[in-house]
Structure 1
Amino acid sequence: MGLKLGVMPVLEGRAGADPAAVAGFVRAVEEAGAESVWAVEHVVVPDRYDSAYPYDPSGRMSLLPGTDVPDPLHWLTFAAAHTSRVLLGTAMLILPEHHPVHLAKRLSTLDALSGGRLLAGVGVGWLREEYEALGVPYERRGARADEYLAALRTLWTESPASFAGEYVRFDAVHCEPKPVRPGGVPIVVGGHSPAAVRRAARYGDGFYPLGVDLAGMADLLRRLAEECRAAGRDPAEVEVTARAPSRRGGVEALAELGVTRVVMRAPIADASTVDRYRREVLGQ
């Protein structure tokens, strides 16, 4: 089917920050023929939280207090040093929690040192308690994210760069190194809300809908095409990623909708599932 395969590690216990385990995992993912490896972000996991996790009927996420959740950019830098080909994705950086001037430097440095292998997946998050721990306003986080994306592009493509917005301002600054690709690090917008669709159409190189079934995916991609045309863009410019179905029929249905990458989860201790999925489900 020609779909790209991404792999996200299952985070359990201390494995996510075990150097030998992670090095072995990312090398095995690359050797198995996967296109990309993806890292999640949570700066903190509250012991208790009232926010509802939107991707499970229970309203609770699978990450538990005491589980290692490494910083995704540090984790991917480590992964880059132990691989040579596999792309390095974040799924998702919680964008409003990062100052865009600092983030632009961190992303472009990783992109440069990895030879242009970074994919910056971004979202606005759902965990109010995490925002509160960081001292970042939870309200209007979508508007903040949109402005931050514009600021990132400015810093990556202009030198000197100037920007004046509601949340961030800078004047005639140089942010080096620049990303390898002229337009900057590719941005993959995550989410399933109307705002996420608009964000992907206006700012994204990719769109990664989460928590939707096949019918929901079809509806989101229809709206994405409409928003792209309204923004003067060709919908084909926005690459679509989806969670990996367990059966070949599900993969074929996603491909018919225009999805070009699926991302599966694999245990850090056993990456053999990656090669098996690629052969048995993707038929590659």
Structure 2
Amino acid sequence: MKFGLHLFGQHDKDQSPVQNFETILDQVNTARQVGFDLVWMGHHYLVEDNQKFQPIPTLARIAADTGDMHLGTSLLLPLHHPIIIAEQFATLDVITDGKIIIAPVMGYRDIEFDSLNIDKSDRLGRLIEGVQVIKNLWTEDNVSFNGRHFQFNNVTICPQPVQDPRPRYGLAATETNPLNAPVNLEMSGSQIHTKMRRR
């Protein structure tokens, strides 16, 4: 059996953010010392009630303290361009020497979509296209893509991830699409089937 530590990253907004981050580092070091296998983070923007540290820079910092533990995060992929995410997580995979894990999520908070001027009704399509783009960029050179939400021609990212064929990839979802149809997302040589529903 393996154990992981979820860093909720939600701290009193009136406390020192520096001290709160030091608390995270203490938790990570304790987890490593007692033999945990994984450190995990969640992802949100515009959380006004408490401090919520962003996962990509946080994981890059704590990578120096995690030893053999893997690091991972859920990620609001529909709120990002997948080229940026492919590059960022390829770099994280290098920093961690092949120990990064990513789990795209659709998101559900109106304030995140509205403030970033992204139509919430497009989140499923952006998630599916984003997963495909990231997969292609992690495994191929001179990638072109012509989707509804993302279009580009002949691009290559460098460096590529350390993990072969690509970083481990999970899908976090409990919802069903409006057509009540299965959504097939292929990554890491396996197919992930999920049902999604509107909130």
**Residues 54-98 of structure 1, C-alpha deviations (whole Å, 9 max, x = no match):** xxxxxxxxxxx34111111111111102222111110x2111001
**Corresponding residue of 2:197:** none
Aligned to 1:128: 110
1:106 maps to 88
Structure-2 residue corresponding to 1:72: 55
Question: Deviation digits for residues 212-245 of structure 1, max 9, x if unmatched?
Answer: xxxxxxxxxxxx99x59xxxxxxxxxxxxxxxxx
Query: Quick one: structure 1 residues 182 and 83, their matched pair in 2 at CA, closer, same or farther if it must change by over 3 Å?
Result: same
Counterparts of 2:136 and 2:77, CA distance in 1: 16
Q: What do residues 17-74 of structure 1 show as CA deviations (whole Å, max 9, x unaligned)?
A: 63432222111111121111111111212xxxxxxxxxxxxxxxxxxx3411111111
* Aligned position for 1:44: 46
* 1:184 aligned residue: 166
Secondary structure in structure 2 of the residue aligned to 1:203: strand
Aligned to 1:82: 65
Determine the structure 2 residue equivalent to 1:49: none
Task: Give 1 or 2 for the bigger CA radius of gyration.
Answer: 1
Structure with more helix by fraction: 1
Q: Which has the higher contact order (CA 8 A, sep 6+)?
A: 1
- SS of equivalent residue, structure 1 residue 22: helix
Q: d(CA) in 1 for partners of 2:105 and 2:28?
A: 24
Cα separation, partners in 2 of 1:16 and 1:75, compared to 1, 3 Å: farther
For structure 1, the 5+ residue unaligned runs are 46-64, 207-223, 229-284
Q: Which amino acid aligns with 2:6?
A: M
Task: Give me the whole-angstrom Cα distance separating, in 1, the residues matched to 2:182 and 2:92.
Answer: 27
Question: What does 1:1-284 align with in structure 2 at a 5 Å threshold?
Answer: 2=1, 4-10=2-8, 11-13=10-12, 14=15, 18-45=20-47, 65-90=48-73, 92-195=74-177, 198-199=182-183, 201-204=184-187, 227=193
Runs in 1 of length 4+ with deviation above 6 angstroms? none
Q: Conserved in 2, the CA contact under 8 Å of 1:26 and 1:83?
A: yes
- Map Cα deviations across residues 92-151 of structure 1 (whole Å, 9 max, x no partner): 211100110111100110111110111101110110121111111111211110001000
Q: Which has the higher strand share?
A: 2
The letter of the residue matching 1:21 is T
TM superposition shift of 1:205: 5.1
Secondary structure of 1:148 counterpart: helix
What residue identity is the alignment partner of 2:7?
P
Paired residue type of 2:68: R
- Unmatched 5+ residue regions in structure 2? 195-199
Post-superposition offset of 1:198? 4.2
**1:168, CA displacement in angstroms?**
1.1
In 1, distance between residues paired with 2:44 and 2:113? Answer: 10
Q: 1:205 to 1:158 in 2, by over 3 A?
A: closer
Task: Give a deviation string over 1:225-276, Cα, whole Å, max 9, x none.
Answer: 9x59xxxxxxxxxxxxxxxxxxxxxxxxxxxxxxxxxxxxxxxxxxxxxxxx
One-letter amino acid of the counterpart of residue 40, structure 1: G
1:15 CA drift (Å): 7.4
8 Å Cα contact 1:154-1:163 kept in structure 2: no
**Length, aligned pairs only:** 188
- Is the 1:93–1:120 contact (alpha carbons within 8 Å) kept by the matching residues of 2? yes
TM-score of the two chains, using structure 2 as the length reference: 0.84
Aligned-residue identity in percent: 25
CA contact (8 A) 2:125 2:149 kept: no
